[in-house]
Amino acid sequence: MAYAISKIKRRLVDAVNKAGGQKIADVVDLTVPPNPEMGDFSFACFNLAKKKKTNPAQIAAELASKIKPDATLKEIKAVGPYLNFSLQPKKLAQGVLTEVKESYGQINLGKKKKVIVEYACPNVNKAFHIGHLRNIVTGESIIRLLENCGYKVIRVNYQGDVGMHIAKSVWGILQAEPEFIKIKRESLAKRIVFLGKAYAAGARAYEENKQAEAEINELNRRLYAQDPAIMPVWKIARQWSLQYFETIYQRVRSRFNYYFFESEVAARGVEIVRKNLAKGIFKTSEGAVIFPGGEHGLHDRVFINSAGFPTYEAKDLALAENWFKKIKPSLAIHVVGKEQTEYFKVVFKALEYTLPPSKGKERHVAYGWVHLKGGKMSSRLGNVVTGEDLLSVVSGEIKKLSKTSAVKNKPKLVEEITLAAVKYAMLKGGVEKDIAFNMEESVSLSGNSGPYLLYTYARIKSIIKKAKKLKSKKTPQDKPTGQAKKQSDFIVRDDEKQLLLKLALFPEITQAAAEKYDPSIIAKYLFELAQSFNDYYHRVPVLKAPETEREFRLALINAIALVLKKGVELLGFETVERM
């Protein structure tokens, strides 16, 4: 779909090329000046001047003299080396307000293309910590951005249910077998607390006790061999853990098309590595099998350890094989912490040899750490801050702030604001950046926060509701006796024009966020839009404006509300009608 802003930009570029007598500009060359007084769009003449070996200011002046105002262009002027364009405000208003609907901002970029997004991916029998919460929040938003661009997105959750962390957990459970038997009759929440303690006990014993270390290593072997004597314990604990994760997925509004598990791909991973060892793709080293990443400008990594067990790397080879045979994606995106960047470089390079169709179709989207007062988190000793902990604390703060609210169904409102506060705080800073979660900032109604966006939306909806009530109360005697003002009789203010330009750029913002896999681009845009609206409403009357201005301003703020709603949905939360 060609939006108004695309047509306008094409018109400007065509004018520049015609004035230059050849193709000298493209749409990507147009920028937005830092100061609205300079114009709405700008074309820099530096590159053209370099080619022609002349002064860029002179070229800008020559081009400006050849471009004339029209129905789209109000003014063209040269400012130093820049050619600046000012648009006709009413033409802009007509184009933008006509096209802003619920589907506004959708792009056909990925039509008929299938993309896998792997995200969430918590380890079974361990807590869902706030790093996982950031993962699922980031992955969910990226998925919505891609879907908005027309991609068919396959949501994948790949969970670790074998390996040393499981062996440590099962060991801890077996040490507390009487409690394990009793806890089966308790609530899921209590069972999950028990699993957390069991894992912490196993992890601690493995580090401090040589006999326990040997026992856990043996348990790991038996688990990979699916020893019938211990598999019932493994299955019960696994089921509890997966049930627990589902409660979190539902709360944060995420869902999955496929669940994959390490236990399903471990054996095939070994087969793939051993098969390609014979081909010379992998090499033996000190009893282990490695991929010689050093030969490819990377680093060597172990794919089968000296005990004969597959590492994460080998399992990922089998996982990719499964995906490309079963789903056949054009791209597979892994939303995983940035500390795994070098890991994925090696795995992707190995896949080029073991699974050639995957070449160029694997991408790691790396996200940063979440910090609280205690610094970087670790679950090794059980001192983990869970995603549920964070949501509960934020919910408590929202409840305090909404004590005086008379809104119906307050629990639902509190939950919506909680999700907005947490998700926006996780997304606004940029995917790869570490974040320090600030409680006060996250729940603020006046700062760069999710609740501020919800407040702005609710404020606009309240204004529109009041306008409808005023309109319904009007009688024929209230109508003006003289001729009504025509739409062309009023002037679009400069701040209204800036709001219109902001709205016009929304489709480009959604596309940029999807192409860069970065929801913070949407977050930044929405915050600026909300700020601009609130500044505007503080200065300019809407309900008390003359009729023609009032109708235009109501249409303008309604368009802002629609874009805010669409934008926050792309971030993964919902708007509310009242706060």
For residue 316, the tally of other CB atoms under 10 A from its CB is 25
Decide: 90 and 549 in contact? Cβ < 8 Å: no
Highest mean pLDDT among 120-129, 341-350, 437-446: 341-350
Burial 350-362 (b: 16+ CB within 10 A, else e): bbebbbeebeebb
Domains in the chain, CATH or no CATH each? 4-87 (3.30.1360.70), 119-264+322-371 (3.40.50.620), 389-571 (1.10.730.10)
* Amino acid identity for residue 161 in this structure: D
Decide: 417 and 167 in contact? Cβ < 8 Å: no
pLDDT digits (tens, 9 = 90+) for 433-459: 999 999 999 999 999 999 999 999 999
CA 71/CA 74 separation, integer angstroms: 7
pLDDT digits (tens, 9 = 90+) for 179-202: 999 999 999 999 999 999 999 999
DSSP string of 269-318, one letter each residue: HHHHHHHHHTTTSSEEETTEEEE-GGGGTS--EEEE-TTS-B-HHHHHHH
Average pLDDT over residues 147-174: 97
> Residue 485 has what pLDDT?
45
CA 340/CA 364 separation, integer angstroms: 9
CA 49/CA 52 separation, integer angstroms: 5
How many residues in the chain?
A: 579
> Residue 550 has what pLDDT?
95
Average pLDDT over residues 298-306: 98
Confidence of residue 483 (pLDDT cuts 50, 70, 90): very low
Average pLDDT over residues 391-399: 94
Q: Look up the pTM and report it.
A: 0.93
Residue spans of alpha helices (H) in 301-430: 312-326, 341-354, 387-401, 410-427
Asked if pLDDT for residue 462 goes beyond 60, the answer is yes
Average pLDDT over residues 488-516: 93
Closest CA to 16 of 51, 44, 54, 46: 44
Confidence of residue 475 (pLDDT cuts 50, 70, 90): low
Confidence of residue 408 (pLDDT cuts 50, 70, 90): confident
Average pLDDT over residues 248-270: 97
Average pLDDT over residues 83-94: 96
> Residue 12 has what pLDDT?
96
Asked if pLDDT for residue 382 goes beyond 50, the answer is no
Q: What is the mean pLDDT of the chain?
A: 93
Compute φ and ψ for 481, nearest 5 degrees.
-80, -30
Confidence of residue 491 (pLDDT cuts 50, 70, 90): confident
Average pLDDT over residues 63-68: 96
User: Which runs of E-coded beta strand occur in 89-170?
Assistant: 114-118, 152-159
